[in-house]
Amino acid sequence: MPFLVILIVFSFSFYIYYKIKNVRSKRPMEKKLLSGKSSMALGLFVALFGINQLLMFDTTTTYIIAAVFILLGCASAWAGYKSFRHHIPYVKEEARQLDGQIR
């Protein structure tokens, strides 16, 4: 499953990217937005890892652990998405206030 491995690597790369942007950001709402994005990327990483394990191995233990990974990954991605969507208007308002642009 080289396709899944590529997706796993990309999702982990995006997680690292957003975490670094989060640390470098000085705006509090932007930090929360970036935290939501990194949570989505990490959740996708964990879920894809679980799916990859399902396809590689064929044991009962693998099924149980992969199901836990998939559920936790999907829950993390969903929570990150909800956080991301919630903070978008606040980030826009914060950017307007801090940049001095009133529209």
Query: What are the C-alpha distances in Å from 19 to residues 54, 56, 87?
Result: 28, 30, 17
**Cα separation, 19 vs 7, whole angstroms:** 18
**Cα separation, 39 vs 73, whole angstroms:** 9
Mean pLDDT (the chain, rounded): 93
For residue range 61-88, list pLDDT tens digits in order: 999 999 999 999 999 999 999 999 999 9
- pLDDT category, 50, cuts 50, 70, 90? very high
Going from N- to C-terminal start, the domains of the chain cover 2-99
Does residue 23 surpass a pLDDT of 80? yes
Does residue 103 surpass a pLDDT of 80? no
